[in-house]
Chains A and B, each alone.
Chain A
Amino acid sequence: MHDAARILQLIVNGAASGCIYGLIALGFVLIYKATEMVNFAQGDVMMLGGFAAFTLIAHFHLPYWVGGILAIVITAALGYALDALIIRRVIGQPQFAVVMLTLGLGFIFRAGAGIAWGYDSVGFETPFTNKTIDIGGLILGEDSVSIIAGTVLLCGVLYLFFSRTRVGVAMQAASQNQLAAYYMGIPVRTIFSLIWAISAGVACLAGILLSPISMIDVNMGSLGIKAFAAAVIGGFGSIPGSVIGGVIVGIVEQFAGYKLPAGFQEVSSNIVLLLMLFVRPQGLFAERMGKRV
């Protein structure tokens, strides 16, 4: 019984950190699906979002919910501006240019955040910090539960958004065929910038949800590497795939930390990624992405 409870707890904790990877991965995937670009600064955008929330909540003493939503809006605006002012300029350049540009932006964000907020870890009080829920003897941290609930809620909202709203459908259309989308009356460039805004907003949400279990610091963006593994496991093109990929990475990590010798936890995401590439290189939820020539 004790063992079963322990295992369940590992699963919940793993799923919680996995949801964070999944949310960052979702940002990768949204942008990749639409524009075939990979934003390597996604993890650093999460870091900026976390600091934005920290400033609003800890410095300006805004309530958690108000500060959180405001931070998401600000980060989304940053994402929009990033595309509209910078990324758009390298359209038509080799993929390599985009990789270097987004990696470089990541460095700039980290340095900028270091100058603005310093290199110490910071945190802010959330309604979920240091609280637990007791479900029939199973003790769960509210912070972990809030991450899972937040991710599920976000996935629901995104699903409604993409399947029901005109903007959401326009985003799907623009990512399937840009040229055709133009002649359906879809402003493709604006739509792409909006996709950058959404993925930045999602990254900010990840940063906010993460803050009770891990502090905010300049280097938290390095989680992006695990998220990248999660996205590839999920099929790099599938939105549910990226979240499920994240959860798999998170849970494997927890068990590796519990059962295996020290050090395995850190590399377990890469091991899962390698195994995935051996067994099913197209990922769990591969979508046919063939392009006509």
Chain B
Amino acid sequence: MILFQANDLSVRFGGIRAVDSVTFEVRQGEVFAIIGPNGAGKTTIFNLISRIYNSTSGKLLLGDTDFTQTPAWRIAGLGIARTFQNIELFPNATLLQNLLIGRHYHARTNFISEMMFLPSVRKAELRHREKVEDVIAFLGLERYRDSLIANLPYGVRKVVELGRALSIEPKLLLLDEPSSGLNVEETEGMGFWIEDIKKDLGITVIMVEHDMALVNQVSDRVMALNYGKVLAMGTPQQVQSHPEVVKAYLGGEVEGAA
């Protein structure tokens, strides 16, 4: 079953076609990786999907829902969550608070009863707290629960951001360079979590990633981009041995580099 589709997606910044007629689809329950050299348009595609940028042409579909024109703040409501290459958390809040904000979209209580903290609000709060505790347990973040984000090391913050995205309970999770800034050990841990997110939580993942070891470890299918165009698509092995991809990365006709 197809969960996500990008049809003929393009965006132009002035004279530059940052993304040029890119078409791809992501199946329910798979991990789909987007790779490519710097400036290939990977993050731009992410920013198109998460509606930071308006596409010049093309269509975005989640299931049967066309969200090409949906404002960015409604993306969470569709069931899409994302993380950022440089981590975008709420720095003056605790880990727990950051995850609870992930539940914002799910809250259904009204303003007056919130002010008075009625039993219905209390019950809803408890339910959200349970959900968030599940995520904390899933990622093993218990001991940082009440720490301010500003006081946490980079590697932990990266996991917190993943946790906040999971608190949204998304259908589709967009990970923008989940390994950037992490050491080898932390990158391995990130790999295991992505596998668990797919297997245990059944969440479909699209990720932009540079670390080929991580891409090989977790992804079902890979799309390679260069200059905003699709070079190759297929299994990690197929894509890495594709001559166009080798050329793009190494700048020459090198055989067997993968």
A interface residue numbers (CB < 8 A to B): 160-161, 164-167, 169-170, 172-173, 176-177, 179-188, 287-288, 290, 292
Q: CB within 8 A of B91: which of A161, A177, A184? A: A177
Contact in complex: A186, B115 (CB < 8 Å): no
Query: Is B232 among interface residues, defined by CB-CB distance under 8 A?
Result: no
8 A-B pairs with least C-beta separation: A185-B105, A185-B76, A180-B88, A176-B90, A165-B114, A182-B72, A187-B73, A184-B104
Q: Smallest CB–CB gap between A290 and chain B, Å? A: 8
Docked Cα-Cα span, A184 to B80, in Å, equals: 10
Residues of the A chain whose Cβ atoms lie less than 8 Å from the Cβ of B101? 169, 173, 184
Nearest to B150 among chain A residues (CB) is A288
Query: Is B168 among interface residues, defined by CB-CB distance under 8 A?
Result: yes
Docked Cα-Cα span, A53 to B180, in Å, equals: 57
Q: Smallest CB–CB gap between B78 and chain A, Å? A: 10
The 27 sampled A-B contact pairs (Cβ below 8 Å) are A164-B114, A165-B111, A165-B115, A166-B104, A166-B109, A169-B104, A170-B104, A172-B90, A173-B101, A176-B91, A176-B92, A177-B89, A177-B90, A179-B84, A179-B88, A182-B73, A183-B73, A184-B102, A184-B104, A184-B105, A184-B164, A185-B76, A185-B104, A185-B105, A185-B168, A187-B73, A288-B92
Contact in complex: A184, B114 (CB < 8 Å): no
Q: A161-B115, A166-B109, A183-B81 are in contact. Are A292 and B86 (CB under 8 A)?
A: yes
Contact in complex: B115, A164 (CB < 8 Å): yes
Query: Is B234 among interface residues, defined by CB-CB distance under 8 A?
Result: no
* Interface of A (DSSP majority class): helix
Q: A176-B90, A176-B91, A177-B91 are in contact. Are A188 and B73 (CB under 8 A)?
A: yes
Contact in complex: B150, A186 (CB < 8 Å): no
Docked Cα-Cα span, A169 to B100, in Å, equals: 10
Interface centre among B74, B93, B101, B150 (most CB of A within 10 A): B101
Query: Is B192 among interface residues, defined by CB-CB distance under 8 A?
Result: no
Interface centre among B71, B74, B104 (most CB of A within 10 A): B104
B interface residue numbers (CB < 8 A to A): 50, 71-77, 81-82, 84, 86, 88-93, 101-102, 104-105, 107, 109, 111, 114-115, 117, 150, 164, 168
Residues of the A chain whose Cβ atoms lie less than 8 Å from the Cβ of B75? 182-183, 185
Contact in complex: A166, B92 (CB < 8 Å): no
Interchain Cβ contacts within 8 Å, total number: 76
Nearest to B174 among chain A residues (CB) is A183
Contact in complex: B117, A184 (CB < 8 Å): no
Given contacts A177-B91, A187-B73, 17 further A-B pairs with CB under 8 A are A164-B114, A164-B117, A167-B111, A172-B93, A173-B93, A176-B92, A176-B93, A180-B88, A182-B75, A183-B72, A183-B76, A185-B73, A186-B73, A186-B104, A188-B73, A292-B86, A292-B91
Nearest to A178 among chain B residues (CB) is B88
Nearest to A165 among chain B residues (CB) is B114
Residues of the A chain whose Cβ atoms lie less than 8 Å from the Cβ of B117? 164
Q: CB within 8 A of B77: which of A166, A173, A177, A185? A: A185
Residues of the A chain whose Cβ atoms lie less than 8 Å from the Cβ of B111? 165-167
Residues of the A chain whose Cβ atoms lie less than 8 Å from the Cβ of B71? 187
Nearest to B50 among chain A residues (CB) is A183
Docked Cα-Cα span, A291 to B203, in Å, equals: 32
Q: Smallest CB–CB gap between A287 and chain B, Å? A: 7
Docked Cα-Cα span, A287 to B109, in Å, equals: 31
Q: A169-B101, A173-B101, A176-B91 are in contact. Are A184 and B168 (CB under 8 A)?
A: yes
Residues of the B chain whose Cβ atoms lie less than 8 Å from the Cβ of A181? 73
Docked Cα-Cα span, A121 to B107, in Å, equals: 48
Q: Smallest CB–CB gap between A187 and chain B, Å? A: 4
Residues of the A chain whose Cβ atoms lie less than 8 Å from the Cβ of B107? 166
Q: A164-B114, A166-B104, A170-B104 are in contact. Are A184 and B109 (CB under 8 A)?
A: no
Residues of the B chain whose Cβ atoms lie less than 8 Å from the Cβ of A188? 73
Residues of the B chain whose Cβ atoms lie less than 8 Å from the Cβ of A287? 92
Docked Cα-Cα span, A51 to B88, in Å, equals: 43
Residues of the B chain whose Cβ atoms lie less than 8 Å from the Cβ of A176? 90-93
Docked Cα-Cα span, A180 to B76, in Å, equals: 11
Q: Smallest CB–CB gap between B23 and chain A, Å? A: 25
Nearest to B80 among chain A residues (CB) is A183
Residues of the B chain whose Cβ atoms lie less than 8 Å from the Cβ of A183? 50, 72-73, 75-76, 81-82
Residues of the B chain whose Cβ atoms lie less than 8 Å from the Cβ of A166? 104, 107, 109, 111, 114
Residues of the A chain whose Cβ atoms lie less than 8 Å from the Cβ of B84? 179-180
